[in-house]
Structure 1
């Protein structure tokens, strides 16, 4: 899949001057996405209003996201962020008698923040073992009293990819709903919510989905959505915005007017990703990450990601002064994403093997200087 960068790099002006290897935090901005943002701006600047267009663009973005994850449009809500999505889900679980919730040690901290604020639930954490969460851990920690199990598809810190289909089978057997945080996977790893048996999934657009902050998508399985009554719901979540009846689908999880400028960006970005095909993107990213892992090891660098299993979604290198190293690399126009004591190199379809190797050379040189 080496042809992907050749085919699409020209769409990303930043790549002419910078090596953008931080898609786990913020991907490069594509020209079609930039034009969509400008279209939103121009419609207000020159016509004064764009409500009808913006609503149409919202539906376009929704439809593109459903293609990306194998869902249907009425199973997807437009929300401000993944955190807002989880807050809304948490507010809807009171219809169930169970009061036990589990999340994992690998979840993004916002997940724990949401559940720490929920006084009505008994919450427990599934620990990792040597950087992974074996399926046996889910068997042990999910019980018949668990109403919801929260898991990340990809670990934000080192790119470890979990087997969501296998986890879903365990949670279903135990009678628990499954919430998947796909922020670190959507856009570069294929997702099929129906095939995997996922109940609820959320993803934002700022990272691998090529968008900007301000909008996220919440999938709720059709059969489940109508049973839930989220307290975090408002006029965009109603059958008719001006009456009190919940929408008859996942849209009931929507609240107020979306950030339309982010919706415009999302529609363009998702259209580009669907045009390329996420399976093609995954093959390319796996190939250059595998090469980079071998190259980093040969340079004497210590990888932070767990070995074995599915190829990680990024290359994570241990560095006690990761933030300092990232700033030094930034001065050389190599953009990466430090997290704690780890340098994360998170490529996308527009990146090359040579870029990854160059970044690793720079990191290795900094390690020697230290």
Structure 2
């Protein structure tokens, strides 16, 4: 992996370690998004040339994403963000009163709110899958929660405040064993770890494009297993989601994944997202990306754990994370740590990250979060941890 060339593609002026929120797209991605606007300026948005080029690039984008996830092209839908993808699944499933949903207790709010709303609409029960220290879902208890009325299992691949990878393939085996639809929120892992929907065994997978994949903001994907697509209700009656019979005054949704379309697409975003997938291949592929992120995560872990007063939240084994580390520091609020680092040119965050199950499990108010990517360097990590040492030294009156 040519880090020098990659850094040239990423002219970021700060030390940036907030990829779990929004990463920095490389220049080829921004150029791909701009390509759409250059095209419509040249030909006009509804010209034959522009429509043919748009259809070609969007078709390639679907194929790129399908190959990236080991899915089929007819199982991929581009969405504005991962939240919308989850909402599509929640509104599409045909629930019955008295059924229950098993929900990851460490989820971000976006993987909770759509199911809570569905529970209110259809008379469902939400059952939270408990987590145990040092930050894993309790799979034995998950199996105990399953009964004949379980309609869905929904989990987050890695909580955004921890970065701890959950055992999604084992959960997939349980879902298949009992014939239960299964959704994985991969917002924090797509682009950081290899994803294979067939190995995971999920019926749905959602993710945002702007995080570790380094795509444009306002982009995301929803994978729906073909057999599941046929069972879903349509999402929004629109010109591209079904057929309108004017004479009979009827609208019928398509039978395939097009039933989830909802009008105009974010073509510049799709152009850029497709290039983000291609860019990973150009710099070495997901295996190299994953190995580089794991190496930097372990390096950051070792540097953080020796700082006086720092407590890293989650497992001691840094290799089980997707690039994200959450920590607390004695005598400092997480927002105070973030403000100090931000003022010193480090992009990161300190927050509860809308994951109340995480803060409750560890007995904390929130975490200071550093999330590294393949284009970060050991030298940047050294500078960040030196800043933290200086900050803590000031607290202890050291000079």
TM-score by length of 2: 0.85
Which residue of structure 1 lines up, in the alignment, with residue 139 of structure 2? 135
Tell me whether 125-134 or 206-215 shows the greater mean CA deviation: 125-134
| Aligned: 1:288 with 2:313 | no
Could you give the per-residue CA deviations for residues 126-148 of structure 1, whole angstroms, max 9, x where no partner exists? Answer: 12122221221321223331111
The answer to whether the Cα contact below 8 Å between 2:29 and 2:216 also exists between their aligned partners in 1 is: no
| 4+ runs deviating over 4 angstroms | 95-98, 239-245
Aligned pair count reads 366
Quick one: distance in 1 between partners of 2:90 and 2:107? Answer: 16
Quick one: distance in 2 between partners of 1:251 and 1:156? Answer: 30
Which residue of structure 2 lines up, in the alignment, with residue 9 of structure 1? 7
Which residue of structure 2 lines up, in the alignment, with residue 195 of structure 1? 199
Quick one: distance in 2 between partners of 1:255 and 1:87? Answer: 13
The answer to whether the Cα contact below 8 Å between 1:87 and 1:232 also exists between their aligned partners in 2 is: no
Structure 2: state its 5+ residue gaps: 353-365
Return the index of the structure with the highest Cα Rg.
Answer: 2
Quick one: distance in 2 between partners of 1:112 and 1:64? Answer: 29
Where does 1:138-157 land on structure 2 (aligned, <5 Å)? 138-157=142-161
Q: 1:62 to 1:240 in 2, by over 3 A?
A: farther
User: 3-state DSSP class of the match of 1:106?
Assistant: coil
User: 3-state DSSP class of the match of 1:35?
Assistant: helix
Which residue of structure 1 lines up, in the alignment, with residue 356 of structure 2? none
Quick one: distance in 2 between partners of 1:239 and 1:63? Answer: 25
| Aligned: 1:47 with 2:51 | no
Q: 1:309 to 1:335 in 2, by over 3 A?
A: closer
Q: Which of 277, 290, 296 is the aligned partner of 2:285?
A: 277
Could you give the per-residue CA deviations for residues 293-331 of structure 1, whole angstroms, max 9, x where no partner exists? Answer: 111112232101233485211222214422232232223
The answer to whether the Cα contact below 8 Å between 2:102 and 2:126 also exists between their aligned partners in 1 is: yes
Quick one: distance in 1 between partners of 2:385 and 2:252? Answer: 55
Quick one: distance in 2 between partners of 1:143 and 1:236? Answer: 38
Which residue of structure 2 lines up, in the alignment, with residue 304 of structure 1? 313
Where does 1:21-40 land on structure 2 (aligned, <5 Å)? 21-40=17-36
What is the CA-CA distance between 1:97 and the residue it aligns to? Answer: 7.6
Quick one: distance in 2 between partners of 1:288 and 1:241? Answer: 57
Which residue of structure 2 lines up, in the alignment, with residue 170 of structure 1? 174
Q: 1:295 to 1:240 in 2, by over 3 A?
A: farther
Tell me whether 198-207 or 139-148 shows the greater mean CA deviation: 139-148
TM-score by length of 1: 0.91
The answer to whether the Cα contact below 8 Å between 1:153 and 1:161 also exists between their aligned partners in 2 is: yes
Q: Which of 233, 257, 264 is the aligned partner of 1:257?
A: 264
Quick one: distance in 1 between partners of 2:242 and 2:64? Answer: 22
The answer to whether the Cα contact below 8 Å between 2:155 and 2:183 also exists between their aligned partners in 1 is: yes
Which residue of structure 2 lines up, in the alignment, with residue 365 of structure 1? 390
Could you give the per-residue CA deviations for residues 257-298 of structure 1, whole angstroms, max 9, x where no partner exists? Answer: 112221121111111123331121111111111121111112
User: 3-state DSSP class of the match of 1:185?
Assistant: coil
Q: Which of 161, 164, 167 is the aligned partner of 1:160?
A: 164
Could you give the per-residue CA deviations for residues 114-173 of structure 1, whole angstroms, max 9, x where no partner exists? Answer: 122222122221121222212213212233311111101111111010111101111222
Where does 1:226-237 land on structure 2 (aligned, <5 Å)? 226-232=230-236, 234-237=238-241
Could you give the per-residue CA deviations for residues 52-95 of structure 1, whole angstroms, max 9, x where no partner exists? Answer: 43333322222211121110110111222222111111122116
Which residue of structure 1 lines up, in the alignment, with residue 125 of structure 2? 122
Q: 1:240 to 1:13 in 2, by over 3 A?
A: farther
| Aligned: 1:247 with 2:257 | no
Q: 1:39 to 1:156 in 2, by over 3 A?
A: same
Which residue of structure 2 lines up, in the alignment, with residue 316 of structure 1? 326
Q: 1:27 to 1:155 in 2, by over 3 A?
A: same
